[in-house]
Amino acid sequence: MQTIRVELAERSYTVTVGSGMLGAANAAITLPAGGAALIVSNETVAPLYLQALKDSFANTQVDTLILPDGEQFKTLEYWSRIIDKLVDIRATRDITLVTLGGGVIGDLGGFAAACYMRGIRFIQVPTSLLAQVDASVGGKTGFNHTQGKNLVGAFHQPVSVLIDIETLKTLPERDFSAGMAEVVKIAAVRDAEFLNWLESNNKAINAREPEVLISLIRRSIVNKAEVVARDERESGVRALLNFGHSFAHALESLTGYTKYLHGEAVAIGMLVATRLSEQRNLCAPGLSDRLGKLLRSFGLPVDMPDDALPDEILELMKLDKKVIAGSYRLILLNAAGQGFIDSNSNNKQIAAAIVASQPR
C-alpha cells in the first residue's frame, strides 16, 4: 500500500493506492461516527465491486444509487438523480457521498456533493485507470452541456481517495488504453524521465503487471498532486494538465460524446497540439512522431478524423473554458516534459495543425 498526500491546507487529503483494498475500505477511509453514506456507482461497476465496498462499512447506514454507464449520461438529468436520492433518504450534512466508478461517476457525484446543502463530504473510489491517475484527484467536478464538455461544475475536493488496482483486472482493454492517455499527458508536460520510463515499460504496462501499475499510478498522482497544491483552481500552472484537452473536448462535442472515450480524444488532441508546437518551431521536429508512437503502443488513436472540419473544431473551441478574452489558451510543448501555456496561436495555425493530424 502506498499513500500520496495532496497538500491543500485545511482541504488536504490522502490518496491510498494498493491491491485488494475494497473489502477493507474502512481501514483507509474514515467516516464520521454515527454518520451515513450514499454510494453512487454505475451499472457496469456496481455488480463487480459495490457489495465489497458496502460490506466494509458494516457499522454505517449505507444507501446506494446506480446510474447508467457512459459519458453521454454525464448530464444535468443524472446529476439531478443524485440530488433527488439525497433528498429521498433525508440526507443531512453529516452524510458522506462515495463515488465508485470512473470519471463520469466521480464528476457527477462530486458536483452533487458540492451542491447539496452547500457542500457535503465525498470520497472517491475510482475504478478506471483514467479516474485513478487523473479525474479522482484535484477536485474538479461537473457535467457536460450539449454545447460543450464540463461547462457546468465546481471545485470540490474529496476528503480521501482509495485506489484498488484489482479493479483494473476487469477493465476493458479500450478503457485501459484511454486511461494511458492521461498518464502520457502528465509525463509529456512536466516529467521527461517518466516519459522515458513509459517507453521502456510499455509491454509490462499493457500486461497490467501489478507492481508496474502501482508505480505508474503513484507517479502520475504525485505529479498531479504537486500541480494541484500550487494552483488548486487552475489560475496558472494547473492549466498544463489540459494538454490536448481543448482539441479533445471539441472533438467529443462534435461527435456527441459517443464515438470516442475521453482518453482517446485526449490522445488525438495531444498530437494536434504537438504538431502545432512543431509547426510554430516551438519544439524540435520529431516530438510528435515520438509521442504518436508511444500512444499507439497503448492502443490509442492519434489521427483527427478526416470529416472533422477545422472550422467546426475552431468554433467549438471558442466555448472551451480555457478561452480568455477571445484568445485560445492552449498547452504546447517546448520539449518532452516541458509544457507551457500559449495564447498566441491563431486560427490559421491551429487549422493547419488539425489538417496535418488527419489521415493522409
Cell numbers 457525484: residue = 109
C-alpha to C-alpha distance for 351 and 348, rounded to whole angstroms? 5
Please pick, among 149, 245, 275, 322, the residue that the annotation labels catalytic: 245
Following DSSP, what letter does each residue of 113-150 receive, concatenated? HHHGGG--EEEEEE-SHHIIIIITSS-EEEEEETTEEE
Q: What is the pLDDT of residue 251?
A: 96
pLDDT 10s digits, 1-24: 899 999 999 999 999 999 988 877
Give the active site residue among 224, 252, 264, 275: 224
Whether 275 is a known active-site residue: answer no
Average pLDDT rounded to a whole number, residues 334-357: 96
- pLDDT in the model for residue 56: 85
Of 29-33, 72-76, 288-292, 332-336, the poorest mean pLDDT is in 29-33
Q: Active site includes 242?
A: yes
Q: Give the lowest-confidence range in 85-89, 185-189, 196-200, 255-259.
A: 255-259
233 is catalytic: no
| Residues composing the chain | 360
pLDDT of residue 328: 87
Domains of the chain listed by start with CATH number: 2-170 (3.40.50.1970), 173-356 (1.20.1090.10)
Catalytic residue flag (residue 118)? yes
| Predicted local distance difference test score (pLDDT) of residue 235 | 82
What are φ and ψ of residue 220, in 5° steps? -60, -45
The single residue of 74, 262, 275, 322 carrying the catalytic annotation is 262
For residue 203, indicate whether it is catalytic: no
35 pLDDT band, cuts 50/70/90, is confident
Residue percentage of the chain with pLDDT more than 70: 97
65-69, 148-152, 194-198: segment of lowest average pLDDT: 148-152
Q: How far apart are CA 127 and CA 347, in angstroms?
A: 39
Active site residue 238: yes
Which pLDDT belongs to residue 326? 62
Choosing from 118, 281, 348, 360, the catalytic residue is 118
Q: Which of 156, 238, 275, 322 is catalytic?
A: 238
Tell me the pLDDT band of 29, cut-offs 50, 70 and 90.
confident
Q: Is 230 a catalytic residue?
A: no
Residue 55 clears pLDDT 90, i.e. is over it: no
Q: Which tens digit of pLDDT belongs to each residue from 211-237?
A: 999 999 999 999 999 999 999 988 889
Checking if the pLDDT of 119 tops 70, the result is: yes
| 165-174, 188-197, 219-228, 317-326, range with the lowest pLDDT | 317-326
Q: Is 140 a known active-site residue? A: yes
Catalytic residue among 54, 85, 140, 149, which? 140
Question: Which residue among the candidates 54, 144, 149, 182 is catalytic per the annotation?
Answer: 182
346 phi/psi in degrees, rounded to 5: -100, 175
Percentage with pLDDT > 90 across the chain:
85
pTM higher than the cut 0.75: yes
Residue 46 has pLDDT above 90, yes or no: yes
Q: Are 257 and 282 in contact (CB under 8 A)?
A: no
Residue among 121, 249, 275, 322 flagged as catalytic: 249
